[in-house]
Amino acid sequence: MNNIKLIKCVFVGMMLSAVVACNSNQNRTNSTLNDKPFKEKVDSVLNLMTVEEKIGQLNLPSAGQFTTGQAKNSDIGNKIEKGLVGGLFNIKSIASIRDIQKIAMEKSRLKIPLIFGMDVIHGYETTFPIPLGLSCSWDMDLIKNTARMAAQEATADGINWTFSPMVDLSRDPRWGRVSEGSGEDPFLGGEIAKAMVIGYQGDDLTKNNTLMSCVKHFALYGASEAGRDYNTVDMSKIRMYNEYLLPYKAAIDAGVGSVMASFNEIDGIPATGNKWLLTDLLRDQWGFDGFLVSDYTGIEEMMYHGVGNLQEVSAQSLNAGLDMDMVSEGFLTTLKKSLDEGKITMETLNQAVARILTAKFELGLFNDPYRYCDENRAKTEIFTEENRAFARKVATQSMVLLKNNNQLLPLKRTTKIAVVGPLADTKENMGGTWSVANPKEKSISLLGGIKEVAGENATILYAKGSNLSYDENFEKIATMFGKEIPRDGRTDLQLRQEAINIAQKSDVIVAALGESSEMSGESSSRSDISIPEAQRDLLKALIKTGKPVVIVLFNGRPLVLTEESKTATAILDVWFSGSESGHAIADVLFGDVNPSGKLTATFPRNVGQIPIYYNYKNTGRPLGNNDGKFEKFKSNYLDVRNEPLYPFGYGLSYTTFNYSNLNLSATKINKNESLNVSVDVTNSGDYDGKEVVQLYVRDVVGSVTRPVKELKGFQKIELKKNETKTVTFELSVEDLKFYNYDLDFVAESGDFEIFVGTNSEAQLKSNFELIE
């Protein structure tokens, strides 16, 4: 009997080796389950697999961190040996990953390689600004290159799959995960989604420095009610198709290799088990051919939605089109029983397994399961000086100048500066949320960056000024995951007085205020999105000194800054800028870099305005003024004006830009023609600078109601002082299409308005007509 088993194992190994040997390099965008080379190889592997081994390929547990040699003695190691694991995530280092892969390749019956994933969200060890901040650069090449560098570093450390980009559209800044997305606009969100996918995956996934991308969270996760994470989502199909679905579709069109299902329900069915979403829409309508993974315990959580027990929701998810179960182990523990009971079919199971195997072939893992385990790359390509220099450049491009009275900024290097605030000297918070691989101790704090960049002629004084919050318990939950800000045991009055004392000795105050990094992100919703009271009281005391105050604002979401916008002299929104935060902020403060970031999410005047966004629809009783004057029986508030504090697309510069000569190539076009829109932009100030020129379109009359304006184009240009450039946009009929009541994608003839300018409240306006 032992000899028979040995012969069988040798035969299986020879068969799988033959499959591996015929592997060829193929681009992800050119390969599908029906492509003959991959289909034949995948079918060959499938034919060797037992039911249990097939189900095992759909199992994605979280391994945590193993030390070398530990993996084989673990529960996960035993499951890998039995062929019951398809991949692992959140393991870091070549040694650990090689150790685990060896179990699959040397101990399991079929020697199918594992896939290794990680949340590489905005960089790997070299960390870039949080995605919301990065989106404010409006620079698609820059964004693509951050993903490219993240892939370079992560793959050098053994990772071959990232759970990024997150493209969830959100218009509610109470939702903590707004920090992980690209703001409120579907067009801009789609452009960023494409750039990120291309940056991660390159043009050939078999190269060992490319990373399979996973777009998330499919779908509508950013529209959770009340801004509370994991909460119910309920919206019309017209809004879905015209707004919230567009960034996911852009990622699919860019060739993304995998998709992660969201936690929320859609039309009463959790997304993880929603067949309309995962199959009818994603695969049948959009043609997606990659694999689908649940979010962390997403299958198990369907039970709490009230749609069945673990066996029932696992079968429902597989039948809906989900391929891989992250952590729940519902597939692993129940699918065999469901197969025996006829609740799933072998065909459905084989389809899911085939998609996972196809991804592994695309990544070249069958050809070389250790292709991402090159120790030389790990030593020379991660967190290098070159990478950090690029991160510093990227961070400067993401910062948004919200206010700059009396041209206080840039600061002079001969100035005596008081650096104050609980966020001034906390390098651990600079990486922002979801910076899991970032060596926090190597990041640069604001205080450290100012001291290095200011030079020997500047005098830098420092005082903490306040704790993050008066509430010690709140501060604990807001500084989790190794991002603590040590609480100062002095009284609040003593802390403030120290700050006042150094402020009175200084020429200017730089106040580092806002949120800690874990005040935004997953499970970090806030009902009050103002700066914590302890810091507001500090700011009031600083203002009373009469010295000019620059707020350096750290935040992972739009904040309510109504009072601060009135009292501070200048406000620079730096988000969480990554590894090189302190250096990059100082570069902007001292004018080495002119800020050029533009907001991608609207800042409200108060929380009662939420949800607030630029591309709203008119009511039947629109307000007839923009000066905040209340009008009875119109759509407005008694206690606050309709307009936001800072609109979408807003951002100042140290220089000024003038727009003139808006021209359209025609006043009428038919559906086979395009329209050229040109405008002259002049740098009329005293500094060279960059400007994001924004084009908006309004469809004046439609078969369904249309937004007051929609972003349809943008260009980031660089102008020397006194220089003028003509910027030209080309609009085609595709740019004018929308989903009508029947969800047909159409362009309707009629009048259109064009707006061009420096933000969504663009002043230059023209019009044209689309004719049949």
Residue 295 annotated among the catalytic residues of the structure: yes
* Sign, Cα dihedral of 539, 540, 541, 543: positive
Within 8 A by CB and 6+ apart from 632, the residues are: none
Active-site residue identified among 295, 323, 325, 573: 295
- Kindly report the three-state secondary structure assignment for every residue of 179-223: HHCCCCCHHHHHHHHHHHHHHHHCCCCCCCCCCEEEEEEECCHHH
Within 8 A by CB and 6+ apart from 743, the residues are: 237, 238, 241
Question: DSSP assignment of 49-60, as one string?
Answer: --HHHHHHHTEE
Contact 197, 210 (CB under 8 A): no
Helices then strands, counting H and E runs in the chain, come out as 23, 26
Task: Give the pairing type, strands 459-463 and 416-420.
Answer: parallel
Give bridge partners of residue 258 from the DSSP assignment. Answer: 214, 291
Within 8 A by CB and 6+ apart from 761, the residues are: 647, 649, 650
Contact 409, 426 (CB under 8 A): no
Question: DSSP assignment of 80-94, as one string?
Answer: HHTT--SEEES--SH
Contact 612, 568 (CB under 8 A): no
Rg, Å, the chain Cα set: 27
The pair of structure tokens assigned to 636 is 């407005």
The pair of structure tokens assigned to 60 is 């994605």
The pair of structure tokens assigned to 260 is 């992660």
Residue position matching structure tokens 């965008």: 29
- 681: number of Cβ within 10 Å: 23
φ, ψ (nearest 5 deg) of residue 142: -60, -45
Contact 694, 757 (CB under 8 A): yes
Which amino acids are annotated catalytic? 295
